[in-house]
Amino acid sequence: MQGTQPRESWLSATDRLAPLLMLAPATIFTLLMIGFPFVYAGYLSLHKLTLGSPTPPIFVGLDNYFKALDDPVFWTALRVNLFFYAVGLLLELVLGTYIGILFGQPLRGVAVARVLAVFPAVIPSVAIGLVFAQMFDPAQGLFNFGLRALGQRPLAWLAAPNTVLQSLLLVEVWQWTPFIALIVMGAMQTLPTEPYEAAVIDGASGWQILRYLTLPLLRPAIVVAAMLRTVDLMRIFDSVYIMTQGGPINSSMTLNVYAFTQGFLFSQFGYASAIMLVLLALTALASASLGALRRRSSG
């Protein structure tokens, strides 16, 4: 017995160390890849740093954040962000759930539709943006050609402040609704059949089955889809940048595009970092509230 004791304690020491050692690479990687940029952005946001300026970064405290409060473009961008988030998410969820439920039915052509539905989500947003920008062109685009053919008045689409947001939203909804539909369809296939049988025996109508059975059962899947889209909609960048760069006259400016413009076009990295951190806080907030909802729905 005595002879085995040191071996045991050695074993228990390795047992204790092993998890730490195994976790270490991931932890270090996370700290370096997420922690460092975050801390550095925080540092930059407290400084006035103009790339290409001979002066070194100057500590300005919270000035960059106060500057944002006074900056009308920042507020426009915030409003645009919230518009995309609220309206975009609502449309995508409603349409996506509807299409997802349809996809779950044994209808003719559904298999083909399911395959087609994957495409918008896997095509890079840059490519989609370039194609839609051409189709939206008021003079030469496909959409106005269609409107004229139908005898309607052509629209300015991306070129007018009063139609640009709706046009961008159209692309966003076109691209991401099928993604939600696929998630909902996946969930539909895992639903138990017993409650439905019981509902039919109890004489529930189709609407009642949908309202009181299908939707509540799908709720966890819909909340997950909403969380995924929340993060993407809040940090919307590529399609907006490709199609309008925030124009005309900043009317489609989002916080992400504005931060990029301030940083890489105007070289104001301190201000750009401050805007990005505000966006990060907003995204975290939106995501956390959905997380709470998810816990409530699963609990």
Partner 1 sequence: MKRIALFTLLLAVLLLVACATPEPTKAPVPTAVPAQPTKAPEPTKAPEPTKAPAPTSAPAPTTAVQPTKAPEPTKAAEPTKAPAATFDWKQRAGDTLVLYLPQHPWTTAIQPFFPDFEKQTGIKLEVQTFAEAQLRDKVLIALQAKSSEFDFWMSLKSREGLKYYRANYYELLDKYLADPKLTPPDYNVKDFAAGPFGGEKFENKLTGLPIIIEGPVVFYRKDLFDAAKIPALKKIEDLETAAAACMKANPGITGVTLRGDPNAIAYTFGPFLRAFGVNYRDANGKSQLSSPNGLKAVEYYTKLARDYGPPGVVTYSFAQSSALFGGGNACMEIESSNELSTIVDPKSSKVVGKVGVMPYPPGPGGDVPTVLQWGVSINANSKKKEAAWLFAVWATSQEMQAKLQLKGIASPRSSSWETPDWKAQLAGDALRAEWAAAVKYVAEKGSGEVGPPAIEQPTVRKIMGDALDAVILGQKSAAEAMKAVDVELDKAER
What are the residues binding partner 1 (CB under 8 A)? Answer: 50-54, 137-140, 154, 156-161, 244-245, 247-250, 264-267
- The number of C-alpha atoms within 13 Å of 213 and in the hemisphere containing its C-beta is 20
Instruction: Round to whole Å and give the CA distance between 279 and 272.
Output: 11
Selection from 120, 62, 101, 281 nearest residue 183 by Cα: 101
Q: What 3-state DSSP class applies to 49?
A: coil
Selection from 102, 133, 299 nearest residue 219 by Cα: 299
Give the nearer residue to partner 1 in terms of CB position, either 230 or 239: 239
Rounded to a whole number of angstroms, the minimum distance from the CB of residue 206 to partner 1 is 42
Rounded to a whole number of angstroms, the minimum distance from the CB of residue 245 to partner 1 is 7
Give the nearer residue to partner 1 in terms of CB position, either 7 or 153: 153
Q: Sign of torsion, CA 239 241 245 251?
A: positive
Give the nearer residue to partner 1 in terms of CB position, either 120 or 247: 247
Neighbours of 94 (CB within 10 A): 12
Give the nearer residue to partner 1 in terms of CB position, either 214 or 244: 244
Rounded to a whole number of angstroms, the minimum distance from the CB of residue 98 to partner 1 is 33
Rounded to a whole number of angstroms, the minimum distance from the CB of residue 69 to partner 1 is 19
Rounded to a whole number of angstroms, the minimum distance from the CB of residue 54 to partner 1 is 5
Contact by Cβ (8 Å): 100, 183: yes
Rounded to a whole number of angstroms, the minimum distance from the CB of residue 236 to partner 1 is 19
Give the nearer residue to partner 1 in terms of CB position, either 104 or 263: 263
Give the nearer residue to partner 1 in terms of CB position, either 143 or 179: 143
Alpha-carbon distances of 246 from 7, 60, 172, 260, 266, rounded to whole Å: 67, 28, 15, 11, 15
End-to-end CA separation in angstroms for the chain: 50
